[in-house]
Copies of this chain bind each other. A is one copy, B any other.
Amino acid sequence: MIQFADQKQEFTKRPSKIGRRSLSRSISQSSTDSYSSAASYTDSSDDETSPRDKQQKNSKGNGDFCIKNIKQADFGRREIEIAEQEMPALMALRKRAQGEKPLAGAKVVGCTHITAQTAVLMETLSALGAQCRWAACNIYSTQNEVAAALAEGGFSVFAWKGESEDDFWWCIDRCVNVEGWQPNMILDDGGDLTHWIYKKYPNMFKKIKGIVEESVTGVHRLYQLSKAGKLCVPAMNVNDSVTKQKFDNLYCCRESILDGLKRTTDVMFGGKQVVVCGYGEVGKGCCAALKAMGSIVYVTEIDPICALQACMDGFRLVKLNEVIRQVDIVITCTGNKNVVVREYLDRMKNGCIVCNMGHSNTEIDVASLRTPELTWERVRSQVDHVIWPDGKRIVLLAEGRLLNLSCSTVPTFVLSITATTQALALIELYNAPEGRYKQDVYLLPKKMDEYVASLHLPTFDAHLTELSDEQAKYLGLNKNGPFKPNYYR
């Protein structure tokens, strides 16, 4: 399993973001990213007993789960019901499933964030005919009350907020290592579940029809496996479907940059000078929002095509050192590493806010700030003042991790698009005729991507126009799509 060993190496080299915990290296980065959820205010962690030491049963006497506290099920149910209202596409799939059950016989093992939105997905898969067993892909992100509601509803869930690394792998193992049940579909977010099966139960792949993977990291791993000729089932990369990309990056970040900055710093945007590093989809969203709020926005780019777009959209394109002394806010959205290094941090003005909207925790060289002459002061959750000997303070958000995940919330509607894409990918892989998919990584077919979009239009009371036969012929298109080439964004 060379490819995984390599990855472990990579993890070692990255600066550990949390000094006080010592995680072994094999745990994936994403599984330790903190995750701020709408419902985190319900966290009553008074009970310190480990769930692994408890014996719980739901009201029907079923005990095949391991969660924090089954008694929180009612509260979790309400959270799920609220989420259902903004996940119209999954509810529509459920309605259609009243007749046919496209996932009848499917045994899905999943490893994702366990939130109200995931619960809506799981209950939809169940309505479509699937059996599900589920673990968390992140040791912090589980909404305990939602896990309780799922357990109460009969799902075999193994997850709680604040797992140890050992707990993390134990939960995953409990999902797959079970007498008399073997998964035939994998739904993964980060690749840890896939990794575990590869490592411990490689024979299981004989019955598995496919993997649906959601995250950048997980997709990267799959492509590596594929290149190395070691991918033994078809895999669907749902991360790169157009609809998901636009929502996760452009539309969601357009809102979360404002939200994340406000919740942490209460900063006024009007008149502020901001530099945004990177003008991809995330950068475009950040820039548009801040410009609209009256900020003066500068952009840095390496790609001349994106750079020219920034110019045409009305942003001055600069190198970071040209503006670093004068800006009030620095935002990274490059996907790169060491974009904001100590040299720049040294030159920022007093009170400058620094945050990352891009990728993991690599873009700001936070490690370079852990030197003796600098003082760190935690002023709020997720907000540190780093203080220079002369008194200058830099306001560092989320220790350089993703602002949008750490200090803002992801709207249910955005998660709905992701979840629907996942559901359709499972249906496609499960029902595909022999030979349509080989042992390779696939993008969701364009037509299904369009279908995901169309299921979300009623939310906006939006009415699609249909092509006439004559028009379809003129354009050389099928009336039902796909309407654009695959590369269309």
Identify the A interface with B (CB < 8 A).
38, 41, 78, 82, 85-86, 242-243, 246-247, 251-252, 254-255, 258-259, 262-263, 266-271, 273, 288-289, 291-296, 300-320, 322, 326, 335-339, 350-351, 362, 379-381, 408-409, 411-414, 449-451, 453-454, 456-457, 459-468, 470-471, 474-475, 481, 483-484, 486-489
Contact partners of A474 in chain B: CB under 8 A:
336-337, 362
Pick the most buried of A255, A263, A475: most chain B CB atoms within 10 A of its CB: A255
A311 is contacted by which of B267, B270, B412 (Cβ under 8 Å)? B270
Q: Is the CB of B465 within 8 A of A320?
A: yes
**Bound state CA distance, A252 and B338, in angstroms?**
35
Q: Is the CB of A270 within 8 A of B254?
A: yes
**Bound state CA distance, A415 and B313, in angstroms?**
18
Q: Is the CB of B475 within 8 A of A319?
A: no
Contact partners of A258 in chain B: CB under 8 A:
255, 258-259, 262
A380 is contacted by which of B41, B317, B380, B449 (Cβ under 8 Å)? B41
Q: Is the CB of B305 within 8 A of A453?
A: yes
Contact partners of A319 in chain B: CB under 8 A:
463-465
Contact partners of A317 in chain B: CB under 8 A:
457, 460, 462-464
| Least distance between A333 CB and chain B CB atoms (Å) | 13
Q: Is the CB of B335 within 8 A of A450?
A: no
Q: Is the CB of A270 within 8 A of B255?
A: yes
Q: Is the CB of B411 within 8 A of A453?
A: no
Contact partners of A243 in chain B: CB under 8 A:
305, 308
Contact partners of A489 in chain B: CB under 8 A:
487-489
A409 is contacted by which of B266, B269, B322 (Cβ under 8 Å)? B266
Contact partners of A466 in chain B: CB under 8 A:
302
Q: Is the CB of A411 within 8 A of B251?
A: no
Contact partners of A304 in chain B: CB under 8 A:
450-451, 453-454, 457, 464, 481
**Bound state CA distance, A104 and B390, in angstroms?**
33
Select from chain B the residue with minimum beta-carbon distance to A295. Answer: B314
**Bound state CA distance, A46 and B339, in angstroms?**
45
| Least distance between A446 CB and chain B CB atoms (Å) | 9
| Least distance between A458 CB and chain B CB atoms (Å) | 11
Contacts A/B (CB < 8 Å), 12 sampled: A78-B379, A255-B262, A262-B408, A289-B293, A291-B291, A296-B315, A303-B481, A303-B484, A306-B484, A310-B462, A336-B474, A486-B487
Select from chain B the residue with minimum beta-carbon distance to A337. Answer: B474
Q: Is the CB of B456 within 8 A of A308?
A: yes
Q: Is the CB of B271 within 8 A of A311?
A: yes
Select from chain B the residue with minimum beta-carbon distance to A454. Answer: B304
Q: Is the CB of A449 within 8 A of B305?
A: yes
Contacts A254-B293, A270-B254, A270-B255: A465 and B302 contacting too (C-beta < 8 A)?
Answer: yes
Q: Is the CB of A251 within 8 A of B266?
A: no
**Bound state CA distance, A408 and B486, in angstroms?**
33
Contacts A263-B263, A267-B411, A411-B268: A460 and B303 contacting too (C-beta < 8 A)?
Answer: no
Q: Is the CB of B411 within 8 A of A266?
A: yes
| Least distance between A93 CB and chain B CB atoms (Å) | 15
**Bound state CA distance, A487 and B300, in angstroms?**
22
Select from chain B the residue with minimum beta-carbon distance to A484. Answer: B303
A471 is contacted by which of B82, B85, B310, B337 (Cβ under 8 Å)? B337
**Bound state CA distance, A473 and B487, in angstroms?**
26
Q: Is the CB of A302 within 8 A of B464?
A: yes
Contacts A302-B483, A454-B304: A311 and B380 contacting too (C-beta < 8 A)?
Answer: no
| Least distance between A75 CB and chain B CB atoms (Å) | 10
A293 is contacted by which of B263, B292, B303 (Cβ under 8 Å)? B292
Contact partners of A310 in chain B: CB under 8 A:
462
A307 is contacted by which of B273, B293, B313, B464 (Cβ under 8 Å)? B464
Contact partners of A252 in chain B: CB under 8 A:
268
In addition to A41-B380, A270-B314, 20 A-B residue pairs with Cβ atoms within 8 Å of each other are: A41-B381, A82-B379, A85-B350, A255-B270, A270-B313, A271-B312, A271-B462, A289-B292, A296-B314, A301-B464, A302-B465, A303-B484, A304-B454, A305-B453, A308-B457, A320-B465, A336-B471, A336-B474, A337-B474, A487-B487
In the complex, the 7 A-B pairs of residues with the closest C-beta atoms, listed nearest first: A292-B292, A487-B487, A317-B462, A268-B411, A304-B454, A304-B453, A271-B311
Select from chain B the residue with minimum beta-carbon distance to A461. Answer: B326
Q: Is the CB of A465 within 8 A of B296?
A: no
Select from chain B the residue with minimum beta-carbon distance to A243. Answer: B305
Contact partners of A309 in chain B: CB under 8 A:
246
